[in-house]
Each structure stands twice: as C-alpha cells, then as structure tokens.
C-alpha cells in the first residue's frame, strides 16, 4: 500500500516535471518568435537621411553657393562628432534592394556642378574625416570650360583626369548634372519641360542630353552613374521615365526637407537636399537639419 502510494506520487511528480518543462519550452519559443518579430519590425522602420548640397568650396569669403574650406571642415567635424556616417548613392540603391545595410545615423554629402575645388579642397578633408560624397558634373563644363582654364580653385571645373582621381580615391561617386542643360534658355529652366513643347519633343531633347553625358562618363571613367541631380532643382514629372530608361536609380532635387529611406527603391527618386549656404555657421546649418 505504502509502495503503491509512493509510486503514484512519483508518477505525479514526473508528470508535473514534464508539464513544467513543456510550458517553459513553449514560453521560450513564443518569446523567441516575438523577439524576432520586433527585430524585423525595427529593421523595416524608415531610415532618416538628410542630404546636404554643396557647390564650390574655396577661399575666405563665403557666399550663398560658396562655403569656405574651414566651414566645410567644421561641417565634417560636427557630423563626425555627432556620430553621422556618409553614404553613397549606390549604398542607398543596395539598401532599398535588401543587399546592404545603412549606418544608424547617416547623411549624404553632395556637390553640384563639378568644381575643381571639389578635388583640391574637398577630397583631402573627406579623407581626413573618413567621409564620402557624390559629385555631379555638367558635361560641357568638363569638356570645354575645364580644358580652357584648368586648376584654379576659385573658378575652374574638373577635367576628366581630375574626375578619375576622385573616383580612384573611392571617396567620391560621380553623378550626372546634364551635359548642356544647366541654364535658363527661353522658357526652359534647367532640364524642365517647356509648356509649349510636346512630351515627345521634351523626351527626345532630355534623352539626347543625358545619354551624351552618360556615354562620355562611361568612356572616360568606365563608370555609368546611377545618380542624377536636377539643375537648380527644377523637376518635371515627364523627366522621370527618361531617367529610369537611362538607368538612374537616385535623383536629387533642392527641396529643403529630410528623406526617409525604406526598402522600396522608389523612395530614391526625388531625394530632398539642404543647400549648404556659406552664409550660415556650421551650428546654424546643422540646427536647421537636425534640430540639435
């Protein structure tokens, strides 16, 4: 009788152990799945990406589109001290296609027009602060203007040799800023569509201009840009199919707002940018973007 009672008690204890063990296992699996779900969710959160637009960097007299090398260095120091890493356009493309990650705090640094000082003044500072940038060139400035008056930091443009030095540094990615539409001609502002022209005429003009510069960049550097910067930020909806057809995956405008990058490649068309006017101090400019 005593033995029988002990046996029943023993069996009850084993059953209890099995129950407790099973419940622990179940809670562990549920917890693990919940944790996995929360990680996945946070990975899908849009990434805050401010894009800064510079032009010329030289001298001691800052203007709306000229920052001094000292201002540029202070900007890089501020970004670095506050934990920001610069990203390239190709990195953004890879991120949206789930092929790469982005730093927790990222910023994109861009230069328009292809000024020679982007090599003489900017590149050494990018190297010093371990940063990257996108330099979007105007074909005619490089083909014609740069050749006639090369290598004056105040006003020269990048030659093809200069552009290759930038590419070889692996700190600069080259973008397209039109071959010959960086102007105000008649009703046309930059590469936007004239009200008077047909969609087909506009398409042909834009395609011809942009493909000319794409071909020249490919010929001189063996690289085909994926980023396009709209001259003066004038955007026409009709330009988008042409840009897609030519393989551009990132386009840059001049609306001063931040961007939120997702895993949808469409979010890279029309990235907003903040013009880095030389008329602000680094602190004033960064407060405008980051509010810090």
Question: What is the binding site for Zn ion (CB under 5 A)?
Answer: 112-113, 231
Closest approach of Zn ion to the CB of residue 269, in Å: 19
Pick 171 or 189: Cβ nearer Zn ion: 189
Of 105 and 212, nearer to Zn ion (C-beta) is 212
Q: Find the shortest distance in angstroms from Cβ 112 to Zn ion.
A: 4
Helical residues (DSSP H) of 97-238, grouped into ranges: 117, 123-128, 139-140, 146-148, 160-168, 199-221
CB of 182 to Zn ion, least distance (A): 5
Residue nearest to Zn ion (CB): 112
| For Zn ion, the closer CB: 184 or 260 | 184
227 DSSP β-pair partners: 250
Residue with tokens 């982005």: 102
Can you tell me the distance from the alpha carbon of 18 to that of 237, in angstroms, rounded to the nearest whole number?
Answer: 66
Buried b / exposed e along 174-194 (16+ C-beta atoms within 10 A): bbbbbbbbbeeeeebbbbbbe
| Residue nearer to Zn ion on the CB measure, 112 or 209 | 112
Which CB, 206 or 261, lies closer to Zn ion? 206
Closer to Zn ion by Cβ: residue 106 or 210: 210
Gap between the Cα atoms of 190 and 188, Å rounded:
6
Nearest-approach distance from CB 110 to Zn ion, in angstroms: 11
C-alpha angle 60-172-68 in degrees, rounded to nearest 5? 5
In angstroms and rounded to an integer, the radius of gyration of the C-alpha atoms of the chain is 27
Residue 209 beta carbon to Zn ion: minimum distance, rounded to whole angstroms: 14
Angle 224-229-231 from CA coordinates, rounded to 5° = 130
CA dist list (Å): 60 to 69, 168, 277: 8, 29, 14
CB of 177 to Zn ion, least distance (A): 6
In total, the chain counts a number of residues equal to 292
């Amino acid at each position: 009788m005593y033995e029988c009672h002990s046996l029943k008690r023993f069996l009850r204890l084993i059953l209890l152990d099995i129950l407790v063990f099973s419940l622990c296992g179940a809670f562990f699996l549920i917890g693990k799945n919940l944790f996995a779900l929360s990680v996945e969710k946070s990975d899908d959160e849009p990434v805050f990406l401010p894009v800064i637009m510079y032009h010329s960097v030289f001298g001691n007299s800052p203007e709306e589109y000229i920052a001094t090398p000292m201002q540029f260095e202070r900007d890089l120091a501020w970004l670095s001290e506050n934990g920001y890493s610069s990203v390239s356009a190709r990195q953004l493309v890879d991120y949206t296609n789930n092929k790469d990650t982005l730093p927790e705090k990222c910023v994109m640094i861009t230069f328009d027009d292809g000024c020679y000082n982007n090599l003489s003044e900017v590149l050494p500072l990018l190297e010093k602060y371990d940063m990257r940038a996108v330099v979007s060139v105007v074909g005619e400035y490089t083909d014609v203007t740069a050749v006639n008056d090369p290598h004056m930091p105040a006003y020269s443009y990048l030659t093809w040799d200069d552009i290759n030095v930038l590419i070889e540094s692996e700190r600069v990615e080259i973008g397209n800023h039109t071959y010959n539409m960086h102007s105000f001609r008649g009703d046309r502002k930059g590469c936007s569509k004239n009200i008077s022209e047909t969609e087909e005429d506009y398409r042909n003009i834009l395609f011809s201009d942009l493909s000319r510069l794409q071909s020249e960049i490919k010929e001189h550097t063996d690289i085909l840009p994926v980023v396009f910067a709209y001259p003066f930020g004038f955007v026409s909806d009709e330009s988008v199919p042409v840009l897609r057809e030519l393989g551009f995956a990132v386009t840059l405008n001049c609306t001063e707002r931040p961007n939120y990058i997702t895993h949808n490649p469409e979010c890279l068309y029309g990235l907003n940018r903040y013009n880095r006017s030389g008329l602000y101090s680094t602190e004033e400019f960064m407060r405008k973007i980051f509010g810090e």
